Amino acid sequence: MIVGFVGSGSMAAAIARGWAGEFEQMLFSDSGSGRAQELAQELGGEATSNDEIARRADLVVLAVKPNKLDEVAPALGEAREVVSVLAVVTLERLRAALPAAEHVLRVMPNIGVEVRQGVMCVAGSLGEEAQDKLARLGWVVEIPEDAFDQATAVMGCSPAYLALVAEALADAGAAAGLDPKLARDLVAETAAGTAALLREHDPKAVQKAVASPGGSTEAGLEALDREGARAAFAAAVEASLARMKG
Ligand SMILES: NC(=O)c1ccc[n+]([C@@H]2O[C@H](COP(=O)([O-])OP(=O)(O)OC[C@H]3O[C@@H](n4cnc5c(N)ncnc54)[C@H](OP(=O)(O)O)[C@@H]3O)[C@@H](O)[C@H]2O)c1
């Protein structure tokens, strides 16, 4: 199976790295920056044009900015199977822009796909083989299209928010005297362990298990509440949603 990426930016790179070794051939295009060539070199693929991708790829990943859909669609007439990662662009718009495609899947992935631990909210359809390839990148969950924006705000954007939490904690550790690299490593490994725990337990239960009454974690949680941590995250989700609505 040959996969072609129309657009070779951050999201295309994350998906392509997650798929390293999975396809017979990987094709990449860009608008002239040279990022397609860089990715092709990194992953052993080929940089080419959009219409060449439409002609040769069994699966086309549409990974340009949402406002570029109308610019790239005319060259993709021959694409039969298309995965779109474009935020906000509905299946109806995609199908109208790509009328010859047999399968169109709208996906909202997050950056975790690079390490095959992504979350992918999907709507639409895909052939069995392509569906299987997608599942290699992490957790695929079908959601109603009218929930995409809200889902994006909590899973598409949130790797950045969680990384900010990690950065803030590591900076605080360094300010308290830890070696900065050690502080970052301690936080990263703690985040990985906490993520695994959160698969098994309710977030409240994890907090309760760490924060014994009168202890240091309880004092920390109280400080976070006092400083408005919850309100800050609610504001982040609200701001992302407002930006998506334009
Ligand atoms: N970043 C994320 O975490 C994330 C998460 C979920 C969804 N998404 C979605 O992924 C899509 C891409 O986002 P991104 O962050 O990867 O953006 P990006 O880094 O700006 O990449 C966009 C890519 O599209 C290419 N492009 C523009 N016009 C083109 C054309 N006519 N033909 C071929 N390629 C063209 C650009 O080429 P140049 O390299 O030449 O500029 C660039 O390689 C967006 O629709 C976004 O909604 C992103």
pLDDT tens by residue, 231-241? 999 999 999 99
Task: Identify the three-state secondary structure at position 235.
Answer: helix
Q: Report d(CA 28, CA 1) in Å as an integer.
A: 15
Rounded mean pLDDT of 3-15? 97
Q: What are phi and psi of 103, to 5 degrees?
A: -125, 130
Structural domains counted in the chain: 2
- CATH code, domain with 218: 1.10.3730.10
Neighbours of 225 (CB within 10 A): 11
d(CA 102, CA 126): 9
Which strand (E) or helix (H) includes residue 106?
Answer: strand 103-109
According to the model, what pLDDT value does residue 23 have?
Answer: 97
Domain annotation covers residue 152: no
Q: Which atom of ligand 1 is nearest to the CA of 10?
A: 16
Q: Comparing C-alpha atoms, which of 154, 163, 159, 155 is closest to residue 139?
A: 155
d(CA 142, CA 120): 8
* pLDDT for the residue 246: 77
Does residue 214 lie in a domain region? yes
pLDDT above 80: residue 6: yes
Tell me the whole-structure pTM to 2 decimals.
Answer: 0.93
Tell how far CA 244 is from the center of its chain.
Answer: 16
Tens digits of residue pLDDT in 138-152: 999 999 999 999 999
**Ligand 1 pocket, 150 CB below 6 A?**
no
Q: In the chain, what percentage of residues exceed pLDDT 70?
A: 100
Q: Ligand 1 pocket: which of 8, 11, 17, 61 to mutate (most atoms <8 Å of CB)?
A: 11
Q: Are residues 21 and 138 in the same domain?
A: yes
The answer for residues whose C-beta is within 8 angstroms of residue 16's C-beta and 6 or more apart is 5, 26, 28, 39, 43, 45
- Over residues 25-51, the mean pLDDT reads 97
Nearest residue CA, atom 2 of ligand 1?
A: 11
Q: How far is the CA of 238 from the centre of ligand 1 (A)?
A: 23
| 58 falls within a domain | yes
pLDDT of res. 245: 84
Q: What is the pLDDT of residue 136?
A: 98
DSSP alpha helices (H): ranges in 19-89? 35-43, 50-56, 69-72
Q: What average pLDDT does the segment 68-81 reach?
A: 94
Instruction: State whether 121 and 204 are in the same domain.
Output: no
How many whole angstroms separate alpha carbon 176 and alpha carbon 142?
A: 44
Q: Kindly give the interhelix angle for 229-244 and 216-226, rounded to the nearest 10 degrees.
A: 50
pLDDT class of 74 with cuts at 50, 70, 90: very high
Provide mean pLDDT across the span 207-215: 96
Mean pLDDT of 205-227: 97
Amino acid at 131: Q
Q: What is the extent of the structural domain holding 217?
A: 158-244
* Same domain (yes/no): 17, 104: yes
Buried b or exposed e, range 70-101, using 16+ CB within 10 angstroms: eebbebbeebbbbbbbbbebbbebbeebbeeb
Residues 203-211 have a mean pLDDT of 97
96 found inside a domain: yes
| Arithmetic mean of pLDDT, 41-62 | 97
Contact 50 CB / ligand 1 (< 6 Å): yes
Give the whole-angstrom CA distance, residue 96 versus residue 100: 9
- CATH number of residue 41's parent domain: 3.40.50.720
The pLDDT of residue 239: 97
pLDDT of 189:
98
65 pLDDT tier (thresholds 50, 70, 90): very high
pLDDT, tens digit (0-9, with 9 covering 90-100), for 154-190: 999 999 999 999 999 999 999 999 999 999 999 999 9
Tokens representing 3? 């996969």
Q: What is the mean pLDDT of the chain?
A: 96
Single-letter residue type at 85: V
Average pLDDT over residues 184-201: 98
**Whole-number pLDDT of residue 244:** 87
> How confident is the model at residue 173, as a pLDDT?
98
How many whole angstroms from 5 Cα to the centroid of ligand 1? Answer: 10
Position 220 scores a pLDDT of 98
